[in-house]
Amino acid sequence: MNTKLHAVCDSHGRPIDLFLTAGPVSDYIGARALVGGLPDVKWLLGDRGYDADWFREALQDKKIRPCIPGRTKRKTPVPYDKRRYKRRNRIEIMFGRLKDWRRVATRYDRCPKTFFSAIALAATVIFWL
């Protein structure tokens, strides 16, 4: 009953790509699934859960600059643009707009496929509004 939604959104907070994983699974699995479908952008803003050297290298191979703060247990701190990182609230706003849909917020569906289809329907409506 525990799931995690990984999402890519544009600068307007509209969902572009979604991926659902089990709750106790690491964020790296969601990042690995979504890195192949990233659009051509200059920057990627992500939270600390996506801080991995292989992910940063994959972004640099696609000519995308990562703006991801380093984990607290990292031996060498990773520099990131703190001013640009403040714009990450747009993805949080997108998640909030998804949770405006009662079916998504309360997780009525037990089956992950049905739950993800409800998320996809909500994301489609959010994209066009």
In sequence order, what are the residues at sequence separation of 6 or more whose Cβ sits closer than 8 angstroms to the Cβ of residue 79? none
State the pLDDT at residue 1: 61
pLDDT of residue 108: 83
Give the CATH number, domain containing residue 43.
3.30.420.10
Locate 107 and state its tokens: 């997780």
This prediction's pTM: 0.86
8 A C-beta contact, residue 110 and residue 1? yes
Give the per-residue pLDDT at 109: 85
Domain count across the chain: 1
Q: Supply the range of the domain harboring residue 28.
A: 3-128
How far apart are alpha carbons 32 and 26 in whole angstroms? 11
pLDDT at position 128: 87
- Per-residue pLDDT of the chain (129 residues), as tens digits, is 688 999 999 989 899 999 999 889 888 899 999 999 999 999 999 999 899 999 999 999 999 999 999 998 889 889 999 999 999 999 999 999 999 999 889 888 888 999 999 999 999 999 987
| Residue 43: burial class (beta carbons within 10 Å; 0-12, 13-18, 19+) | middle
